[in-house]
Structure 1
């Protein structure tokens, strides 16, 4: 049964549909809370397992009376050959089954259309993850404006747009550096560092990427988890590239989490091989600094634990190192004043969380937008140091990538990021200023606060038939 709401007919109603993946669900849940705080009715549509994941993030907001509803649809897993519980990208056993997962996701179109038939009040817009291209057909059928959520920043979006338009990377060898055209600064990358939609060695989802790009064309606008002061030149150029101003930077949305409990509900998708984790551990030990190392319970955990025990690593480092097995509250940890550096794979959520906490980064990108984000962090913003990984690995195959970075490089990069000299202090001052800018952007009168207002008013005018 479609959710029913009471209230004035003119009240806006946003239907939000995230991609089933922690890095996409979490920021969309934060967005839902921010929009609901402005009086917008929110309906989040996802699957059973993901409802369980969303509720800790916005459960308190719902209990406090904010107009947020969560509707769950059943993902047809068995029909596409997936085991029970594979309702999110991070739960898929291997990349070879990603196609099955997206086939199951595509089957949500009919139940979504049945849901929209009776939904009251009529949706003012659909805000959907860009990786769900079939939403374009649904929005068109019901004549509902469609907004995209990308999950990355304008730097990445502009880089991707420029490469798709220019194709300069196509003729380059995997290891040959080329300049990304049309950017405010000189940014060089190799083909081997590009995300799967641009990387010829990762073309197993070529058709899906083509559908995603095609579906972007008909969208009314795009909502971005960033703030204008962070990447102002790239926001400006991306708006130019899109041909209009329907680009709203409303982040960092993680700053909507005020309490320690709210800050605790965050996660990550990246994995390293046991051999690479051993090199990382030995690099942490060699840097001779206090550290906190989170070891997730993924493939190879037994092999890593065997090494920790037999090598005596934990015993040797227990006076200055803490190992956390499984899940850890990343945002809460980053906000602790004792944290002086953060080793990150440069996912956009983690990058923003480090910036908001004012913590310099050691960058270790693996796939997707992560090499672009590293360029932003290290070269443009100058708030991090790269550990030196040069090759992207396909999502879902990162646990097979072997040893990409040696312990010596880990030690050297950590020591550099933690240096007490002029360079280190200047880096820390830059990120402290960015953290303050992030807070100001999300507060009343700030750029992101105002962009939420502009977004809401734009959709309101659209519903009234007024040209925005």
Structure 2
């Protein structure tokens, strides 16, 4: 399958790819999994199929066997709602400058963004492999039975309700899915091999005054070299704030 997709052997996650240009080939490789997946569906005859948003072809696979496909979203209701409102209303076209703020229409909370905070492919309507994939993912989601979201209601009740009622999406919150990992070895794997003392992290955080810690999140597929990380650390130190990488912290406490 690696050879068919033109992907180097042994790379099984996006963040492990040696060059960003290989991302499209990676998703081509995942599409080649449809046939073996259908063999499994035929063999085990499950009652439903839960598949990540980036596998749009699974909606078609599930339909062949008359079972519903549920789309899994690793992010929460707020980001899903904000993304959909930006897509629907394109408020970035109402401002001329990159730093001019605009309010996301229809989204509760009066959330403001600027054009500079949006990806180029969104504000410039770029057509490439990524946007084609996102388009297919959105279309397959609308055809699916519903979505399951890695969140819990108490965290974002306003946006959970808006996503269901305002946007009319059939959705269930099932998070945090990381809570299913109980053993230390499982937690280390989730943290890319980084072992953190969760009690030490919580103790350190509890020792700080309210609003004195900055949470820094680079995303689950970010890959920085030591020089880049040093520059980020220097900038944060210059800001005079305590800081912690949110992903490292969450990997530790959950």
Report the CA distance between 1:340 and its aligned residue: 1.8
Contact 1:192–1:199 under 8 Å retained in 2 = no
Given candidates 241, 246, 249, the residue that maps to 1:414 is: 241
The 5 Å alignment of 1:166-181 reads 166-170=89-93, 172=95, 173-181=97-105
| Partner in structure 1 of residue 50 of structure 2 | 127
**Does 1:184 pair with 2:96?**
no
Query: Following the alignment from structure 1 to structure 2, what is the Cα–Cα distance between the partners of residues 361 and 266?
Result: 24
1:104: which partner in 2?
Answer: 29
Deviations 1:198-249 (A, max 9, x none): 35387531211111111110111111111111111111111113425x3111
Structure 1 residues 338 and 396: alpha-carbon distance in aligned structure 2, compared to 1, 3 A threshold: closer
Matched, 1:363 2:215: yes
Match of 1:257 among 172, 181, 186: 181
Q: State whether structure 2 residue 88 is matched by structure 1 residue 165.
A: yes
Q: Are the equivalent residues in 1 in contact too, given 2:213–2:241 (CA < 8 A)?
A: no
Q: Distance in 2 between matches of 1:109 and 1:414?
A: 48
* Corresponding residue of 2:249: none
Distance 1:166 1:94, change over 3 A: same
Structure 1 residue 334 displacement after superposition: 6.3
d(CA) in 2 for partners of 1:167, 1:207: 18
1:266 alignment partner in structure 2: 190
Residue in 1 that maps onto 2:248: none
Task: Please provide the CA RMSD for this pair.
Answer: 3.4
The structure-2 alpha-carbon separation of the partners of 1:328 and 1:136, relative to structure 1 and needing over 3 Å to count, comes to same
1:278-297 matches, within 5 Å, as none
The answer for unaligned runs of 5 or more in structure 1 is 1-75, 269-326, 342-358, 369-394, 419-438, 440-468
TM-score by length of 1: 0.45
Partner of 2:140: 215
Pairwise CA distance, 1:193 = 2.3
Distance in 2 of aligned mates of 1:154 and 1:100: 29
Structure 1 position 256, deviation (Å): 3.0
Q: Is the 8 A contact 1:82 1:100 kept in 2?
A: yes
Asked if structure 2 preserves the Cα contact closer than 8 Å seen for 1:147 and 1:220, the reply is: yes
Residues in 2 aligned to 1:202 and 1:405: alpha-carbon distance in whole angstroms? 29
Residues of 2 paired with 1:203 and 1:147: CA distance?
A: 27
Question: How far, CA to CA, are the matches of 2:187 and 2:178 in structure 1?
Answer: 8
* TM-superposed deviation, 1:185: 1.0
Does 225-234 or 187-196 show the bigger shift? 187-196
Query: Contact 2:212–2:241 (CA<8 Å) still a contact in 1?
Result: no
Which one of the candidate residues 185, 191, 194 is aligned to 1:328?
194
Secondary structure of the corresponding residue to residue 198 of structure 1: helix
Report the counterpart of residue 152 of structure 2 in structure 1. Answer: 227
Q: Structure 1 CA distance, aligned partners of 2:31 and 2:228?
A: 34
Contact 1:175 1:192 in 2 (8 A): yes
**How far apart, CA to CA, are the structure 2 residues paired with 1:398 and 1:203?**
27
Distance 1:226 1:335, change over 3 A: farther
Checking the alignment, whether the CA contact within 8 Å between 1:163 and 1:180 is kept in structure 2 is yes
Partner Cα separation in structure 2 for residue 116 and residue 256 of structure 1: 25
1:4-403 equivalences in 2 (<5 Å): 76-119=1-44, 122-170=45-93, 172=95, 173-195=97-119, 198-200=122-124, 204=128, 205-243=130-168, 246-267=170-191, 327-330=193-196, 332-333=197-198, 336-340=201-205, 362-366=214-218
